[in-house]
Amino acid sequence: MMLHAIAIDDEAPALAVIAAHAAKTPFLRLQECFTNPLDALSWLQQNPVDLIFLDVRMPDLPGTELMRLARASGALFVFVTAHAEYAVEGFELRALDYLLKPVLLPRFLEACNRALQQRQAQTGRPRSFFVKDGYNWARVEVADIRFVRSDTNLLFIHHSGGVTITRMTIAQLMGLLPPTDFLRVHKSYVVAIAAVQKIEKAQLRIGDTAIPVARTYWEEVERRLL
């Protein structure tokens, strides 16, 4: 599935960063960039998109107000701004995400993956997301994940097709996974609930792999699995 997006920011250098990140995101096509929010609003009346990257503080039309006006388009909104104090208002408007400048690629990709999951859920297509795998991007199907192991700044995503290794934190990954289907059982492990085959003393069994369960997570494991 390809996401179609636009970016709106009155500062051209900020748009250049978004465009550079978008060019490295295999499932995102940035169709237009606008420095004038009124031009963007007019363009949206004839051109539907999936995702809008939007600055908050802009002359003539603040980003929060543009979102209110363009909400009927059905697009998802990601605020991109240097002003953290607008985060509460952004989430009250049900923005998908709130990125603080300067925006780094991993954080940008996290927001895009979240948008991809929402669009896939709306269309009934299988949920998936992309992660950086060496110099390439690898698609991971959520339904295929069995468990995930963290080792310093690397994640080892074990799935039915093998193992995908990427640089990401467990917290970032949990933001991409449906919470009803996955459970954190240790500071270094997340399991797919459907993949758990046996509950043993202080560990879970998935295939031939023993997954340790930390004492602080045991109560939640019992609640969710038993």
pTM of the predicted model as reported, rounded to 2 decimal places: 0.64
In the predicted model, is pLDDT for residue 91 greater than 70? no
Report helix, strand or coil for 126. Answer: coil
Alpha helices in 24-104 (DSSP H): 37-44, 63-70, 87-92
Query: Does residue 193 contact residue 183 with C-beta atoms inside 8 Å?
Result: yes
Phi, psi angles (nearest 5°) of residue 179: -65, -20
What is the average per-residue pLDDT within 92-121?
87
**In 3D, which of 118, 113, 110, 115 has the Cα closest to residue 129?**
113
pLDDT at position 22? 95
Q: Kindly indicate the confidence band of residue 87, based on its pLDDT and cuts at 50, 70 and 90.
A: low
Report helix, strand or coil for 74. Answer: coil
Phi/psi-derived region of residue 112, left when phi > 0, alpha when psi is between -120 and 50, beta in every other case: alpha
In the predicted model, is pLDDT for residue 103 greater than 60? yes
pLDDT at position 148? 96
What is the average per-residue pLDDT within 138-157?
91
Domains annotated on the chain, with CATH: 3-123 (3.40.50.2300), 128-225 (2.40.50.1020)
In the predicted model, is pLDDT for residue 149 greater than 90? yes
What is the average per-residue pLDDT within 159-178?
87
Query: If 0-12 CB within 10 Å is exposed, 13-18 middle and 19+ buried, where does residue 85 land?
Result: exposed
What pLDDT digit, counting tens, does each position of 35-52 carry? 999 999 889 988 889 999
What is the average per-residue pLDDT within 102-119?
90
Alpha helices in 28-145 (DSSP H): 37-44, 63-70, 87-92, 105-123
Name the average pLDDT for the chain: 88
What is the average per-residue pLDDT within 219-223?
88
Give 77's strand partners: 52
